């Protein structure tokens, strides 16, 4: 245990250096196609989200239904959303708003986001399929968002890093279907066959095609998106501006969702405090800022083609009972 | 946007990044006239790189029949429509050997069309659906009949088709690279090979959308996109067979019809690839009007209608076909190097031999000399030596029936 801890300690500066060099490169390149932010974007929204303290018996199965009661008394904040119109490729605009509620139990913080989306897109296998998704973004470190601070609400900025939690509908489907990566053969058999009715070809070469893991490029490169059995529905990321989004080596966030009558309800949760220096930290009784984006897979939303809020939003965590 | 020079178009054009040419550019020449569509190249690539699960639809190298074939279906017609502004013409009255060897393109590139249409992304494009990647050889050997009642005769057949060999063009100004919002695609400085970083890719499919040649492909299994890697371990000389020398890719080396020559475009006028493309102008880029400066070059098929070929290869078509039909002494010698070696040839030398044949082709005098052509590797060592006339071996009568 002690050995493991010291390894972690030494690897952190290295990680930091790698992240910084990657973002420096990208930041230089993002200039074309990016329009400057306006002053009002640096001013946070007025309405404060109260992260309500609740005493919660953590359900065995973490799902929206069993957490419903805990969110009962939490006050919702409406976040207006709009088209992403600053960095190429522009896009989005089909989702105009979302509702956010938040609670914590002194150990874990839960954000619940609901928005309307007439189509459920929980698969991203065929080339023209895109997933529904939602992301929360937090400034990294103890930052007070003021107009003078010039902290961009759009993916942060150079030397103004952010921590992002990205829930993906297809990751959740994977987890629920098999507890691992959704299998192409199961979800869409014979996708690339010339004729839909051929029942055999997916199995014909199965020994050959499953034998060489190294040729699954994304898997061999350790890309989290490609990994089977990732065991979660939310990706933990960092960004320092457009085009710099990077998956964290240490994944700490999880989530669950429910889709009914054209409405997504997504809950993302994480422990208030983590050991990862690339994570946002939450202190009961303290303040935080957040921003968010929603992707509508039915409208081909992905990457910068998304519905965004162009302001940071303040939040306050209620104290725990013994404070 | 910055302004970069595209010598295929003979002018500067808009591109999101600065002009930054590699030290030498991965390039190849395909002689369409000789292709028999045996698909050996296709299978050589498939068995090396895309035989795995989730890659069933991927053919990084494919051979399609023109005009009806296409993988993905109708890829070129669909992209041509996107850049069509009604006046996509070429100005060919003035040419500059170095800057505008084919004249000047006056239409829109995929980048300029996107800017004009104000669609707020770098290039126009579309995502071919899963169904469009199926049946990769649909339309094989289907001829177009312009005049069904007439017999076909040169110079242009009235019933015609030809084979189009395709792989990633490793463009100088790649549409995929411009499109990627994450900079997950990069062009290598040492050889100009364009690659997708499998760790950085997040499967947004902007490259699939904005590559006009439709060569990046999405893999549902890993949720990220993949593309031709130009067999870069071979290009780097890491295959033990060539003992450290740069080696041609799988699809090139496997070519049964000997239609392919691969090498690097550089400044050496005695490099066979550079000579055929830049000096002789026998080999032409595929759809130069897209504006990406593709680096696979084609010797156009001499029997196909010229208007179709001009749309496909630009205004250099007529000159290239004339040159191909009546090859000069040097051209014939350089063309003899096609598929003579697996190691990449960096320079050639011709040792003159006696005249062995002469005739008249379409009214033009043609003389053939049995010259010796020598190909040299990167290290200056001779790697191949061949003659214009193939040597004839007469079998000893006692072996007539043996193999």
Question: CA-nearest residue of chain A to B208?
Answer: A127
Chain A residues near residue B127 by CB distance under 8 angstroms: 127-128
Work out the burial of residue B254: count CB atoms within 10 Å of its CB; fewer than 13 is exposed, 13-18 middle, 19 or more buried: buried
pLDDT at A228: 76
On whether the CB atoms of residues A110 and A69 are closer than 8 A, the answer is no
pLDDT-derived band at A37, boundaries 50, 70, 90: low
Task: Identify which of B56, B183, B205 has the shortest CB distance to residue A243.
Answer: B183
Among the ranges given (B66-70, B144-148, B302-306), the one the predictor scored with the smallest mean pLDDT: B144-148
pLDDT confidence band for A11 (50 / 70 / 90): very low
ipTM metric = 0.84
Decide if B346 is inside a domain: no
Residue B351 lies in a domain: no
| Residues B90-126: tens digit of each pLDDT | 999 999 999 999 999 999 999 999 999 999 899 999 9
Q: Is the pLDDT of residue A58 over 50?
A: yes
- Residue B249 inside a domain? The answer is yes
3-state secondary structure chain A: CHHHHHHHHHHHHHHHHHHHHHHHHHHHHCCCCECCCCHHHHCCCCCCEEEEECCCCCCCCCCHHHHCHHHCCCCCEEEECEEECCECCCECCCCCEEEEEEEECCCEEEEEEEEECCCCCCCCCCCCCCCCEEEEEEECCCCCCCHHHCCCCCCCECCECEEEEEEEHHHHHHHHHCCCCCCHHHHCCCCCCCCCCCCCHHHHCHHHHCCCHHHCHHHHCCCHHHCCCCCCCEEEEEECCCCCCEECCCCCCEEEEEEECCEEEEEEEEECCCCCCCCCCCCCCCEEEEEEEEECHHHCCECCECEECCCCEEEEECCCCCC
Q: Is the pLDDT of residue A27 over 50?
A: no
Cα distance between residue B272 and residue B349, in whole Å: 10
Q: Classify residue B133: in a domain, yes or no.
A: yes
- Quick check: is B369 in a domain? no
Which domains, from first to last, does chain A contain?
A: 46-178+228-317 (2.60.40.1190), 182-227 (no CATH)
* CB–CB contact B53 A216 (8 Å): yes
B182–chain A Cβ distance below 8 A for any pair: yes
Judged by CB atoms closer than 8 Å, whether chains meet at B218 and A88 is answered as no
Bigger pLDDT: A37 vs B26:
B26
pLDDT digits (tens, 9 = 90+) for A76-114: 999 999 999 988 899 999 999 999 999 999 999 999 999
**CB contact B197 to A (< 8 Å):** yes
CB B375 within 8 A of CB B384: yes
Chain B's closest residue to A184, CA to CA, is B221
Q: Is residue B190 part of a domain?
A: yes
A228 against A146, higher pLDDT: A146
Query: Which domain CATH number covers B310?
Result: 3.30.70.20
Q: Which of A229-233, B107-111, B336-340 has the lowest mean pLDDT?
A: A229-233
* Residues of B in Cβ contact (< 8 Å) with A216: 52-54, 221-222
Considering chain B, what percentage of its residues have pLDDT values greater than 70?
100
- Contact A221/B198, CB-based, under 8 Å? yes
Residue A8 reports pLDDT greater than 50? no
Nearest to A225 among B17, B56, B224 (CB): B224
Kindly report, residue by residue over B176-229, the tens digit of the pLDDT: 999 999 999 999 999 999 999 999 999 999 999 999 999 999 999 899 999 999
Q: Quote the CA–CA distance of A98 and A41 in Å, as a whole number.
A: 18
Instruction: Tell me which of A26, A170, A192 to substitute to probe the interface with B (most B C-beta atoms closer than 10 Å).
Output: A192
Q: Residue A256 pLDDT > 60, yes or no?
A: yes
Do A127 and B49 make contact, defined as CB atoms within 8 angstroms?
A: no
Chain A nearest C-alpha distance from B31 (Å): 30
Q: For the residues B68-83, what does the mean pLDDT come to?
A: 96
In the block, residue with structure tokens 């910068």 = A304
Task: Give domain status of residue B389, yes or no.
Answer: no
pLDDT: is B226 or A200 the higher one?
A: B226
**From the CA of A26, how many Å to the nearest CA of chain B?**
7
Average pLDDT over residues A185-204: 64
In this complex, the residue of A89, A125, A128 whose CB is nearest that of residue B127 is A128
Mean pLDDT taken over chain B: 94
Q: How many domains does chain B have?
A: 1
Residue numbers of the domain that contains B53: 2-325
Would residue B303 count as lying in a domain?
Answer: yes
Is the pLDDT at A9 greater than 60? The verdict is: no
Task: Judge whether B47 is closer than 8 Å to chain A, CB to CB.
Answer: no
- Range with lowest mean pLDDT among A18-22, A196-200, B178-182: A18-22
Nearest residue to A153 (alpha-carbon basis) of A86, A204, A63:
A86
């Amino acid at each position: 245990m002690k050995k493991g801890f010291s390894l972690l300690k030494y690897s952190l500066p290295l990680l930091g250096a790698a992240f910084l060099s990657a973002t420096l490169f990208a930041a230089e390149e993002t200039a074309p196609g990016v329009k400057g932010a306006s002053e009002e974007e640096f001013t946070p929204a007025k309405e404060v989200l109260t992260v309500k303290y609740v005493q919660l018996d953590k359900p065995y199965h973490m799902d929206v239904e069993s957490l419903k009661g805990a969110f009962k008394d939490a006050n919702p904040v409406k976040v207006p959303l709009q088209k992403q119109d600053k960095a190429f490729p522009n896009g989005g605009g089909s989702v105009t708003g979302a509702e956010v509620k938040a609670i914590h139990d002194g150990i874990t913080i839960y954000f619940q986001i609901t928005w309307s989306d007439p189509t459920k897109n929980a698969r991203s296998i065929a080339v023209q399929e895109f997933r529904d998704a939602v992301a929360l973004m937090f400034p990294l470190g103890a930052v007070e968002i003021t107009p003078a601070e010039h902290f961009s609400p759009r993916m942060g900025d150079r030397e103004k890093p952010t921590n992002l939690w990205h829930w993906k509908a297809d990751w959740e489907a994977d987890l629920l279907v098999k507890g691992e990566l959704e299998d192409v053969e199961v979800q869409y058999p014979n996708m690339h066959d010339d004729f839909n009715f051929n029942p055999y070809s997916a199995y014909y070469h199965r020994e050959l095609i499953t034998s060489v893991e190294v040729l699954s490029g994304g898997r061999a490169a350790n890309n989290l998106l490609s990994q089977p059995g990732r065991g979660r529905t939310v990706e933990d990321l960092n960004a320092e501006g457009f085009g710099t989004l990077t998956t964290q080596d240490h994944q700490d966030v999880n989530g669950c969702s429910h889709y009914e009558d054209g409405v997504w309800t997504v809950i993302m949760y994480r422990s208030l405090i983590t050991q990862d220096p690339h994570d946002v930290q939450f202190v009961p009784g303290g303040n935080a800022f957040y921003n968010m984006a929603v992707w509508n897979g039915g409208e081909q939303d992905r990457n910068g083609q998304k519905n965004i809020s162009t302001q940071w939003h303040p939040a306050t965590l209620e104290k725990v009972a013994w404070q | 946007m910055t302004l970069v020079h595209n010598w295929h178009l003979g002018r500067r054009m808009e591109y999101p990044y600065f002009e930054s040419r590699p030290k030498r550019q991965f390039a190849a020449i395909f002689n369409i006239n000789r292709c028999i569509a045996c698909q050996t190249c296709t299978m050589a690539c498939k068995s090396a790189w895309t035989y795995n699960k989730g890659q069933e639809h991927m053919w990084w190298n494919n051979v399609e029949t023109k005009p009806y074939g296409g993988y993905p279906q109708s890829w070129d017609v669909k992209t041509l429509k996107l850049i069509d502004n009604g006046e996509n013409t070429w100005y060919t009255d003035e040419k500059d050997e170095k800057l505008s060897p084919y004249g000047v393109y006056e239409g829109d590139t995929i980048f300029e069309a996107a800017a004009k249409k104000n669609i707020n992304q770098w290039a126009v494009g579309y995502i071919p659906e899963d169904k469009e990647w199926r049946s990769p050889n649909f339309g094989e050997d289907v001829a177009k009949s312009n005049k069904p009642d007439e017999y076909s005769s040169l110079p242009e057949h009235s019933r015609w088709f030809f084979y189009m060999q395709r792989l990633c063009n490793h463009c100088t100004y790649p549409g995929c690279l411009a499109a990627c919002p994450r900079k997950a695609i990069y062009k290598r400085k040492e050889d100009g090979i364009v690659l997708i970083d499998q760790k950085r890719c997040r499967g947004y499919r902007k490259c699939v959308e904005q590559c006009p040649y439709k060569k990046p492909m999405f893999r549902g299994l890993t949720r990220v996109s993949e593309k031709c890697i130009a067999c870069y371990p071979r290009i780097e000389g890491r295959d033990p067979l060539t003992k450290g020398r740069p080696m041609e890719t799988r699809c090139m080396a496997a070519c049964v019809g000997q239609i392919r020559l691969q090498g690097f475009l550089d400044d050496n006028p005695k490099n066979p690839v550079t000579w055929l493309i830049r000096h002789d102008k026998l080999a032409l880029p595929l759809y130069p009007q897209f504006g990406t400066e593709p680096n696979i070059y084609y010797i156009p098929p001499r029997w196909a209608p010229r208007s179709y070929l001009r749309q496909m290869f630009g205004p250099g078509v007529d000159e290239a076909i004339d040159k191909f039909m009546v090859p000069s002494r040097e051209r014939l010698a350089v063309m003899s190097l096609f598929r003579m070696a697996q190691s990449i040839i960096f320079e050639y030398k011709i040792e003159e031999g006696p005249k062995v044949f002469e005739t008249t082709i379409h009214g033009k005098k043609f003389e053939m000399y049995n010259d010796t052509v020598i190909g040299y590797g990167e290290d200056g060592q001779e790697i191949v030596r061949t003659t214009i006339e193939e040597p004839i071996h007469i079998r000893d009568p006692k072996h007539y029936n043996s193999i």
